[in-house]
Amino acid sequence: MSMWVTGANGFIGRHLVRELAAGGHAVHGVGHGALDPADARALGLQTWINGEVDAANLNALAAAHGLPSHVFHLAGGSSVGLSIERPFEDFSRTVASTARLLEWLRSFAPETRLIVVSSAAVYGADHAGPIPESAVLTPMSPYGHHKLMMEQLCQSYVQSFGIRCAVVRLFSVYGPNLRKQLLWDICSRLRNEQRTLNLGGTGAEIRDWTDVRDVVRLLAHVAEGTWKDDFDVINGGSGRGVSVAGIAEGLIGHWGSKTAVQFSGVGRPGDPTSLLADNARVLAMNFDWRIPLERGLADYVAWFKGQTRA
Amino acid sequence: MSMWVTGANGFIGRHLVRELAAGGHAVHGVGHGALDPADARALGLQTWINGEVDAANLNALAAAHGLPSHVFHLAGGSSVGLSIERPFEDFSRTVASTARLLEWLRSFAPETRLIVVSSAAVYGADHAGPIPESAVLTPMSPYGHHKLMMEQLCQSYVQSFGIRCAVVRLFSVYGPNLRKQLLWDICSRLRNEQRTLNLGGTGAEIRDWTDVRDVVRLLAHVAEGTWKDDFDVINGGSGRGVSVAGIAEGLIGHWGSKTAVQFSGVGRPGDPTSLLADNARVLAMNFDWRIPLERGLADYVAWFKGQTRA
């Protein structure tokens, strides 16, 4: 099948392209970022348009390759911190791009199945324990608000125009090639052989850590599974919570370091104390998470050491 | 004080400009639609920029007149039907314009008080009786979804950036100069002396009818009242529900006609059976609705007959 990925040059996007191409699909992409043709070929990406998700670029893909069976929409803001620094940019990347994509699908490809990647940030704070998809949504950052607005827009197009759309809310996705956020920061400091690792927050923040290689398998699984006509929202989490301190310890262990960890005790703005998925929906889809955290962390450290040696 | 009105050339906008100017304020506006300078002066509008609510036009207003004490944001989609026909246009008018306005306020006028006009359409169907502001929001049209997304964006800017914003959800606003919707349609048919008035829906749809002259008094009242730091949402409704059939009867009576009314019995898409405000918030603000429905309908018929004679 012909599948399109917006934001295909991002961290999750690149893993997803590899997964879909390995499954025998023709994969085309649009989004921001220069991508070397050899690099694109190695990923399995047949076409890459470096630009906005807009009608002109979507038309160009359709003219060259026909309509897609599926569109995976990964383009959008990807940082809580940046969304606070530059909220309008985050709005444009997340909400306005989705508006243009939905309108294009409505006009030209109403049968296409749209898989939209959202975020657990829509849940906000105030959730203790596993969070079901039906929980009250109280995002606490522009990033979370914009993801929620994006979902709302999808729901509107499903309701009024019969667009076929499933939203997958991702939790804390990590894995090879992730060059930002907690795991990257910790490994970068370990490489510099800091005696003490000083981290923000309390260390007790609970997150649902999922390896990106599992996550892209899940996205493909959702796309190829049975579709309801309704708007569908699925937690893309494992249901297993581990604290930030636990992650730091695990990485230090795999690194083979004796560094001590210290937390500032001060939470960062926009940072909930717990974000853990109720994973009943994913279980019901017969999806199995294959990479346990221990292996994921070990792989991450191995990747990190390998790429910094190069 | 210096007050700006976006969408000042719309039905409610024009009434609001008149109200604010009569209150001694300097009123400037931006939005779509040609406005004759003499017409603008007669309304009390000192400046009118015919264009998008965007940084360039807001900068131009600020350069000429300084920063506003208040901005009334009325620009946006204004028709459920059009939002179904052209959803992207409605999104752009309602959501994207608000994103640009909020970003401009954040950057240049964070102390300005922003009064955003939203709609009872955010409540959607499934509400029997008076609806409190805290009700579950299940919009059923792109128009309603976009108004809700607009509110969400305002909430995000209040929460993360301390923007001062109150949202007023308007219900069924009618009054002199309204040249569309139910009252206009009925009067237009009565003028053509149709024997039977065939209307869509069941006639039993309950709405909270408010005269635009009261509504703009309420908006000014909210602007000049005490402000909380929190994001504030207020139902701009009277709490009194009257059916569509009741409105038809009232208009026919004031017209002095003997026309019979017939309803199709088929609801229109995006049209809830009941939208009635819980008006506790407005009452607590010591606001009095002054124009009872009977007088409002009589005035509307008088205005209609006058303008069509001209």
Question: Measured between CB atoms, does B140 come within 8 Å of chain A?
Answer: yes
| B153, closest residue in chain A (CA to CA) | A145
* Residue of B103, B149, B160 lying closest to A152 (CB–CB): B149
φ/ψ (deg, to 5) at B172: -95, 95
In the DSSP assignment, the letter for residue B237 is -
| A98, closest residue in chain B (CA to CA) | B88
The answer to whether B206 touches B246, Cβ cutoff 8 Å, is no
Q: Which of A242, A171, A237, A182 is nearest to A206 (CA)?
A: A242
Residues in B touching A230 (Cβ below 8 Å) = none
User: What pLDDT digit, counting tens, does each position of A2-38 carry?
Assistant: 999 999 999 999 999 999 999 999 999 999 999 999 9
Distance CA A39, CA A118 (A): 27
Domains of chain B: 2-172+212-236 (3.40.50.720), 174-208+240-276+291-306 (3.90.25.10)
* Residue of B88, B100, B160 lying closest to A99 (CB–CB): B88
Tell me the two tokens of residue B152: 């969400």
pLDDT score for B270: 66
pLDDT score for A230: 83
Distance CA A65, CA A59 (A): 10
Q: Which residues, numbered 258 to 277 in chain B, qualify as contacts with chain A under a Cβ-Cβ cut-off of 8 Å?
A: 269-270
User: What pLDDT digit, counting tens, does each position of A258-278 carry?
Assistant: 999 999 999 877 678 999 999
Beta strands in B40-178 (DSSP E): 45-50, 70-73, 113-119, 130-131, 164-170, 172-174
pLDDT in tens, chain B (310 residues): 999 999 999 999 999 999 999 999 999 999 999 999 999 999 999 999 999 999 999 999 999 999 999 999 999 999 999 999 999 999 999 999 999 999 999 999 999 999 999 999 999 988 989 999 999 999 999 999 999 999 999 999 999 999 999 999 999 999 999 999 999 999 999 998 888 999 999 999 999 999 999 999 999 999 999 887 789 999 999 999 999 999 999 999 999 999 999 999 998 776 789 999 999 999 999 999 999 999 999 999 999 999 865 4
CB-based contact B269 A160, cutoff 8 Å: yes
Q: B212-251: buried (b, 16+ CB within 10 Å) or exposed (e) per residue?
A: bbbbbbbbbebbeeeeeeebbbbbbbbbbbbbbbbbbebb
Q: Which of B119, B114, B148, B67 is nearest to B227 (CA)?
A: B114
Distance CA A83, CA A148 (A): 14
Q: Report pTM.
A: 0.94
3-class SS of residue A125 = coil
Q: Which residues, numbered 19 to 78 in chain A, qualify as contacts with chain B under a Cβ-Cβ cut-off of 8 Å?
A: none
pLDDT score for B309: 58
Distance CA B91, CA B146 (A): 6
Banded model confidence at residue A172, pLDDT cuts 50, 70, 90 = very high
Distance CA A276, CA B13 (A): 46
pLDDT score for B9: 97
Q: Which of A37, A38, A46 is nearest to A17 (CA)?
A: A46
Place of tokens 């060259």: A64
Distance CA A71, CA A25 (A): 12
Tell me the two tokens of residue B81: 């039907």
Residue A218 has pLDDT above 80, yes or no: yes
pLDDT score for B227: 86
